């Protein structure tokens, strides 16, 4: 997320090195990489669930994993709000790349 989504979000928000005529393409690209990030986020959440289900004797590792996951979810929530604003902003020629219910996916991942 931090290597792909955040730089594109910043570029769209600031218009840095982004001609106006390229805004629709940049927004479409953001939608695609965001959907990929949501898929990876679901995988991460599932793996954390598996870790929690294990009876591990190594409690410090589990505690660190919980803290790391909490930090990732906080970052994910902040990025999700920014992405949602950019995707919802009116822009011509936005392709329909988001599946039905994508708003619910975002809500589930940040709540």
d(CA 107, CA 77): 9
Q: How many residues does the chain have?
A: 111
Could you identify the residue written with the tokens 């959440």?
A: 45
Q: Please give the pLDDT value at position 52.
A: 78
pTM score:
0.71
Question: Rounded to an integer, what distance in angstroms lies between the CA atom of residue 106 and that of residue 82?
Answer: 11
Distance CA 66, CA 64 (A): 5
Instruction: State residue 75's pLDDT score.
Output: 92
Instruction: Please list, in sequence order, all residues whose beta carbon lies within 8 angstroms of the beta carbon of residue 1, skipping any fewer than 6 positions away.
Output: 37, 40, 41, 75, 76, 79
Number of Cβ within 10 Å of residue 67's Cβ equals 10
Tens-binned pLDDT, residue by residue, of the chain (111 aa): 778 999 999 999 998 888 889 999 999 999 999 999 999 999 988 888 888 777 676 778 778 888 999 999 999 999 999 999 999 865 443 334 444 554 555 555 544
pLDDT score of 66 = 86
Tell me what pLDDT residue 111 has.
Answer: 47
């Amino acid at each position: 997320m931090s290597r792909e989504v955040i730089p594109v979000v910043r570029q769209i928000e600031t218009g840095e090195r982004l001609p106006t005529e390229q805004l629709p393409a940049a927004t479409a690209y953001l939608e695609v990489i965001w959907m990929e990030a949501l898929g990876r986020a679901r995988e991460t959440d599932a793996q954390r669930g598996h870790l929690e289900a294990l009876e591990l004797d190594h409690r410090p590792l589990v505690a660190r994993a919980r803290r790391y996951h909490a930090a990732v979810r906080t970052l994910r929530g902040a990025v999700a709000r920014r992405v949602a604003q950019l995707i919802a902003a009116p822009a011509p020629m936005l392709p329909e790349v988001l599946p039905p219910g994508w708003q619910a996916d975002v809500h589930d991942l940040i709540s």
